[in-house]
Chains A and B, each alone.
Chain A
Amino acid sequence: MGKKRLVMVIDLKRCIGCHTCAVACKSHNNLPNEIWWNQVLTHGGKSMDTPRGVYPNLHMQFLPLACQHCDNPACVKACPTGATYKDDNGIVMMDYDMCVGCCSCILACPYKYARQFNEKEPAYEVDFRVGNAGVPDQQKGTVSKCTFCYTRVAKGEAPSCIDVCPGKARYFGDLADNESEVSQLIQKRKYIQLLTERGTKPSVYFLI
């Protein structure tokens, strides 16, 4: 069997901007208060859920954004320690024990909020650990990011953001398999990838 190429497909027509994916990601990965690997952005400004335009001509467009797990990741080339690397399934991973917290991966990554820096000692609203037990603890002074929930993927499950999406806007699978749902969607539907001119070859496809 050939090498897998795991990708995520997000149907922007089905996304209702409920932020469930962001919350599921945060709890599954036991992320500290200030860290959100997955965010749903809108055009209107920095605040949440703000439309574009001037009343009454307003337009709301949601864009769920996290690490794009690029095929040609700029972050991997920028990292001086090798803490950020690509695994055999095409997932861009982080080794927190190797990370020196230089943030060169953040500077190299063209995608907003894709990588986040744990500036403070990780603090949580609750005093017990939540999420998947196999997920490594966050460390102060290191960078972290979406891992496509690799502990779930290893068990044959989809990332947590896929399962919880109430609008069924998210899909996950192997693009190398022509029969997979993601391959079928990409063949049938019109899609875009973000910032392709940067040459990163992202593994997240947005159906439009």
Chain B
Amino acid sequence: MLRKEWPLIFNTILAQLAAGIFIFLSADIMFVLHGLLEPAANLNLNGTGLALAGPIIILAMFLSLFHLGKPFRAYRAMANLPVSWLSWEIFLSGAFLILWAVTYFINKPYPYLLGITSLVALLNVVSMGNIYSSTGRPGWKGAVTYLDFIGSMVMFGSVASAFIIGGADEFKFLINAPMIACQLILAIELIAILAFVFKQKAAADESSLDQLACSSDLNEDLLSKYLKISISGWFLSFMGVEIVYLNIHGYITLSLLLPVIFVFAGELIKRYSFFMLVGESEDSSQYISAISYSKNSNK
């Protein structure tokens, strides 16, 4: 695993947390605005928890600087918008922050503003998915990365809005549907993790030139570690989602802060396992290890 990936683990998780909070709370506010629950003419928007999204995305953007070799050149990272998804991700993070600031200072629930900001937040998460998915690395390609990233966003948004809205009966329908979506996402994720490990272990037995040249050095030890860590993370997220689900159906009575902690920890651990799939090859060179060996033996 690249040592430089830690800031990215937190950057992606926090950006998805901010997007989830904003999108889900905005959706809840829309329901309120449309008179489904109560009139909202005097709604204090920042009092709903929407204000949290801004500091979180600022923290996410700040942490991302630490994975750059040249942080003071970071302003150049939007220079390749025509082809680079990373440029788009940085652009959309900035746009989300600006739009959030506008909603924060206006502090009034304008549906168009909430809708556009939510869309930008979602596109930011999608462009993050595109960065990793387009690398073609095993475990990152295809729908798996989007499932991981958008799944985290949905789970964060669902449990955060459940915590903020609370377990009152009249809000139950706003929490129940997202929880069913979270359970579906978790079921698909579990199948995807197991299928990936099984497929890669079968491929590890081959010894072609392609395999020797491939930068994704996923050996059996790494795959076993990946399986253990990702299942641990998955289990924590599952616990968090189930606590909310059982709570709103009256089977248990636990603080809804607990699922927020469980899901955050679970998704963080899963993201760590996602970045484990960078492989170990980037970290070391056979020449460096050979030179260190020869220097140590000469001492």
- Shortest Cβ gap from A119 to chain B (Å): 8
**Which residues from chain B contact A34 at a C-beta distance below 8 Å?**
285, 288
Q: Which residues of A contact B131 (CB under 8 A)?
A: 78, 104
Tell me the smallest distance from the CB of B141 to a CB of chain A, in Å. 10
A41 contacts B212, C-beta separation under 8 Å: yes
Interface: A187 (CB within 8 A) = no
- How distant is the Cα of A98 from the Cα of B68 in the complex, in angstroms? 13
Q: Mark B260-291, 1 if CB is under 8 A from A, else 0.
A: 00000000000000000010011011111111
Is B250 interfacial (CB-CB < 8 Å)?
Answer: no
Q: Verify if A20 is at the interface (C-beta below 8 Å from B).
A: no
Q: How large is the interface on A (under 10, 10 to 19, 20 to 34, 35 or more residues)?
A: 35 or more
A47 pairs with B290, CB closer than 8 A:
yes
Q: How large is the interface on B (under 10, 10 to 19, 20 to 34, 35 or more residues)?
A: 35 or more
Interface pick from B101-109, B118-126, B213-221? B213-221
Q: Say whether B55 faces chain A, with CB atoms less than 8 Å apart.
A: no
Flag the segment in B45-53, B71-79, B188-196, B225-233 that touches A. Answer: B71-79
Stretch at the interface among A110-118, A153-161, A167-175: A110-118
B254 within 8 A of A: no
Tell me whether A107 and B135 are in contact (CB under 8 A): yes
The interface-forming segment of A1-9, A129-137, A177-185, A192-200 is A192-200
A79 at the interface (CB under 8 A from B): yes
Partner-B contacts on A (CB < 8 A):
22, 33-34, 36, 39, 41-43, 46-48, 52, 61, 63, 65, 74, 76-82, 98-104, 106-114, 116-119, 139-143, 192, 194-195, 198-199, 206
Interface residues of B (CB under 8 A from A): 2-4, 67-71, 73-74, 76-80, 83-87, 90, 131-132, 134-137, 207, 209-210, 212-217, 278, 281-282, 284-291
Known A80-B79, A110-B215; further 19 A-B contacts with Cβ < 8 A: A48-B286, A74-B134, A77-B134, A78-B131, A79-B80, A80-B84, A80-B90, A81-B76, A99-B69, A99-B73, A100-B68, A102-B68, A106-B2, A110-B136, A111-B215, A113-B285, A114-B215, A117-B69, A139-B70
Q: List 18 A-B contacts (CB under 8 A).
A: A46-B289, A47-B286, A48-B286, A61-B212, A77-B83, A80-B90, A98-B76, A100-B74, A100-B77, A108-B134, A111-B215, A112-B214, A113-B285, A117-B4, A117-B69, A194-B210, A194-B213, A199-B136
